[in-house]
Chains A and B, each alone.
Chain A
Amino acid sequence: MSNLAILPIIIPLLSGIILAFFPKKLTLVRLLSKLFIIGNLLVSGFVLYTVYTSGSIILETGAWPAPYGIIIVADSLSILLVFTTNIVAAACAFYAPHSLSDRKEQHYFYAFFFFLITGVSGAFLTGDIFNMFVFFEVLLMASYALIVLGGDKIQLRESIKYVLINLFSSILFVTAVAFLYATVGTVNMAQIAQRVQEVDQQGILTTIGILLFFVFATKAALFPLYYWMPNSYIEPNPVISALFGALLTKVGIYAIIRVFSLIFIYKIDMTHEIFIWIAGLSMIFGIIGALSTNNIKLIIAYNIIPAIGFIIMGIGIFNETAVSGSIYYLVHDMIIKTALFLIAGTVTYVAGTSDLRKFSGLIHYYPVLGWLLFLAAFVLAGIPPFSGFIGKLLLLTGALSESEIAIVIIALISSLLILYSIMKIFIKGFWGVKDASFQPKSTKGLIGPIAFLLALSVILGIGAEFFIPSIENISAYLLDPEIYIDSVLKE
């Protein structure tokens, strides 16, 4: 039944509402939140299975036919991302009780956590551009509450910046939607795509496309709009940083993928050429940021930017290999960034500081944590058997077949430097002489979720043979917008 498509949005919303009734009963709240997130993971897995076996699920809410009502489209790309979101969220839900203080948990942490998942899933699943704006706001509102949770001075300062920049880009989003509505007369994405095709993407439509790109690039932290991101992502608790790093920027990327593979695809030499340059600059500036600091959290946060660059590069090149590379890299990056933020949080917790110059020799006390970090560095940089390799290989093959040599060189060098920036944490923090005065802290419950995520990304790399065909199906589907339009408008 078509109502399946809305379940990944409703379940977290309902869970958040239920948990908002008794925020102080921590034992019950923790238990329920784990149950709810596992339930949601299973349901979205089932929807994923249904979509892969019997095609996209289109839900016309309120039984209004497609261009008039709001539609929810669970197609192979959106439901894959929703499923990944739930994996990440499940790991965070299990990590959270061990990392957050009781006081923070009592102040509606779990309710906001579920509202964040609601917003992210909604933004992935919607088929209506104004509805996408609304779900962006749902996830941003929840993220405002999460970023300031605890109320430290530095959190308050960073949240002001975060709220201001996001408010500004939301205003720009509404303006762009208003322009688009004035030009094509609809907010349903399938119908917009159809009408843009009919009027042959005039100049004004390209302008609106670039405007929308700026909005999504601000949310996704691309060059030159990333300056707000690194500092505001490291100040909240590690769980919250992990959720932000894994989900918020990726929603912006998803919006770019969707809009520029469905709607604005008739002036590719103009728009998509810009993307390649922005991707290259994001990689360069992101990696410079990651190398410039000794703060381990900041190193991880800066590593988001080149990853976003890699994904955008695939959209810019816009052939089947490169787009499947982007999708593969997107899924891989959501999982590995969560794992890295959780590792950085754990290291900061056990060492008592996030400054690399102040501790060393942790491997004597925490061998498992050390080797997990080592593995994560390999996965992130793209050492062959692991998942980062497959995505980058597809992207580089795609780029070479369009003879975009410059971006290939930049991508390869930045991969090397990504490896160096993470290995620096391992070399400086974990190697070295045993510090006898060090007081080891218990890492009970913190290692499990990290190991789970890393195991998944290793499977994603080793089992690539199994995943690649469905990823290639998604990219073939994305490159032929007619399938989407026909499935939504039923012509």
Chain B
Amino acid sequence: MYKSNDLILRTTTSIIVFILLGFSIYLLLAGHNSPGGGFIGGLITASAIMLLYISYGSETIEKILPINYRLLVPIGLLLALGTGIGSFFFSVPFLSHTYGYFHIPFFGELELATAMLFDTGVYITVLGVTLTIILSISKDQ
């Protein structure tokens, strides 16, 4: 039986995927002060995972990434909504965000904002939605 040899595709993918994943995390974290944010970060992570699916096939990837992407959607929504609801406990209007300066070992003085948590929620939701759409279309019944 003919078996396609996609050595070049697989080798290049294993390098490029890490660059893409790193870049998507950078975009997620950089969103506050430069272009980027949860939406574009989620899309790029999804495209990295899609690249893995394309070059290695769905059985392999489902073995190494056993994630139910459909479940990521409510998790992300819950996180984003949770940052809004959190403001109830401090008697401030809904969706009020706050920030503070923290000293973290190795990174030093950092400004951490609760808007970051909201963005992470967006990131997870976008990742879940994109992969659910693509994978449910690709699996023909």
Tell me the A residues contacting B by CB distance below 8 Å: 1-3, 6, 10, 13-14, 17-18, 20-21, 59-63, 72
Give the nearest-CB partner of B73 in chain A: A20
Can you list 18 A-B contacts with CB-CB less than 8 angstroms, sorted by A residue number? A3-B94, A10-B81, A10-B84, A10-B85, A10-B94, A14-B78, A14-B85, A17-B77, A17-B81, A18-B74, A21-B71, A59-B93, A61-B93, A61-B96, A62-B97, A63-B92, A63-B93, A63-B96
A62 to B84, CA, bound (A): 9
Are B74 and A21 closer than 8 Å at their CB atoms? yes
Name the one of A14, A18, A61 contacting B94, with C-beta atoms under 8 angstroms: A61
Chain B stretch 46-101: residues in CB contact (< 8 A) with chain A: 71, 73-74, 77-78, 81, 84-85, 87-88, 91-97
Q: How distant is B120 from chain A, measured CB to nearest CB, in Å?
A: 16
Tell me the B residues contacting A by CB distance below 8 Å: 71, 73-74, 77-78, 81, 84-85, 87-88, 91-97
Check A62/B77 contact, CB under 8 A, given A3-B88, A10-B84. Answer: no
Q: Which residues of A contact B84 (CB under 8 A)?
A: 10
Name the one of B71, B81, B88, B92 contacting A13, with C-beta atoms under 8 angstroms: B81
Give the nearest-CB partner of A19 in chain B: B74
Q: Which residues of A contact B94 (CB under 8 A)?
A: 3, 6, 10, 59, 61-62, 72
Are B93 and A62 closer than 8 Å at their CB atoms? yes
CB contacts between A and B, total, < 8 Å = 42
Are A17 and B91 closer than 8 Å at their CB atoms? no
A18 to B91, CA, bound (A): 24
A13 to B61, CA, bound (A): 33
Q: Which residues of A contact B93 (CB under 8 A)?
A: 2-3, 59-63
Q: Which residues of B contact A13 (CB under 8 A)?
A: 77, 81
Q: Which residues of B contact A3 (CB under 8 A)?
A: 87-88, 93-94
Give the nearest-CB partner of B91 in chain A: A1
A2 to B85, CA, bound (A): 13
Give the nearest-CB partner of A70 in chain B: B95
Q: Which residues of B contact A18 (CB under 8 A)?
A: 74, 78
Q: Which residues of B contact A17 (CB under 8 A)?
A: 74, 77-78, 81
3 nearest interchain CB pairs?
A20-B74, A62-B95, A61-B95
Give the nearest-CB partner of B88 in chain A: A3
A3 to B92, CA, bound (A): 8
Give the nearest-CB partner of A71 in chain B: B93
A6 to B85, CA, bound (A): 10
Q: Which residues of A contact B96 (CB under 8 A)?
A: 61-63
A17 to B85, CA, bound (A): 14
Q: Which residues of A contact B74 (CB under 8 A)?
A: 17-18, 20-21
Give the nearest-CB partner of B93 in chain A: A63
Q: Which residues of A contact B81 (CB under 8 A)?
A: 10, 13-14, 17
Q: How distant is A82 from chain B, measured CB to nearest CB, in Å?
A: 16
